[in-house]
Homo-oligomer: A and B are copies of this chain.
Amino acid sequence: MSTKLSDLNAADRDDFVAALGNVFEYSPWIAEQAAASRPFSGVKALFAVMKDVVDRAPAETRLALIKGHPDLANKTQRAAGLTHESNAEQNSAGLDRLSDAEFEAFERVNNAYKAKFGIPYIVCVRRHTRDSILRDFERRLPNDAQTELRTSIEEICRVAALRLDQLVIGDDRLSVHGRLSTHVLDTHSGKPAAGISVVLTELSDLGEARVVARAVTNLDGRTDQPLIGGRPVPIGRYELMFSVGDYFAGRGVPMSDPPFLDQIPLRFSVSDPEGHLHVPLLVTPWSYATYRGS
């Protein structure tokens, strides 16, 4: 699905626009104008030009860009059909599987926001969980119109950057990905803990917790892949659950019955979707520790 930047640099204008027309929702005019600045030395340069096109557009054009975006989690709109990209983005945050309470909360958000500002509530959902979308709304609703127009464009550009990153391969990459990783150190034996089951769950105030990743630690006490990688780590609350009881039992370590520690939950929040967050576990059958590593 992705194209080499060199091919786009060499393509005729129509193919260039066809390839990048959806980077900004329903707005191929941005790719059209950016085409004239070819060749691009890298993906960052390409994105900078597209962003510049948006920034220099007349106010009414920018407003139309904003208004072209769908509501979040709006069932009617979803039934009528979103762009392929919007649909995938909303699903990534679980907006297609909301609890009733969450659905009502999103409807309230959309309506309250539209009532105040006359534009849809826009947020780059790939950088968020259900909870943090609602939380951000509470923070943004008191803003004035000017601030929200600016914030909407910023969020639109974040969406566009993530779409562009998937579409175009160049020598450089946009800094749009984060990483969440863990490792387990068995301080009872002084070795990395291999074979420990790890489950990462996204927590939610209004809806159900959602399993985001499952893994088993390898010989190095790490997971072969980061728990989240190659994408933003959505802002939100998480729980990592480590099955240490099975691990120590399997090693024949003397324990109480039932074992003092069995399933160890670590709860933490992500605040920087593009950052590297490392949440390790140092553990014996009788003690454990964690810290925010990098």
User: Which residue numbers of A lie inside 8 Å of B, CB to CB?
Assistant: 132, 135, 185, 187-192, 220-221, 235-237, 254, 256-265, 267-269, 271-272, 282, 284-294
- A137 CB → nearest B CB, Å: 14
Chain B residues with Cβ below 8 Å from A135 are 258
- A251 CB → nearest B CB, Å: 12
Chain B residues with Cβ below 8 Å from A289 are 282, 287-290
Contacting A286 at CB < 8 Å: which of B258, B287, B292? B292
Closest 3 interchain pairs by CB?
A: A190-B286, A287-B291, A289-B289
Contacting A291 at CB < 8 Å: which of B265, B282, B294? B282
- A46 CB → nearest B CB, Å: 30
* 20 A-B interface contacts by CB (under 8 A): A187-B286, A187-B287, A187-B291, A188-B188, A188-B284, A190-B260, A191-B294, A192-B294, A221-B294, A236-B258, A237-B258, A256-B272, A258-B271, A260-B269, A262-B267, A263-B267, A265-B265, A288-B291, A289-B289, A289-B290
Chain B residues with Cβ below 8 Å from A269 are 256, 258-262
Across the interface, do A260 and B268 meet the contact criterion of CB distance under 8 Å? Answer: yes
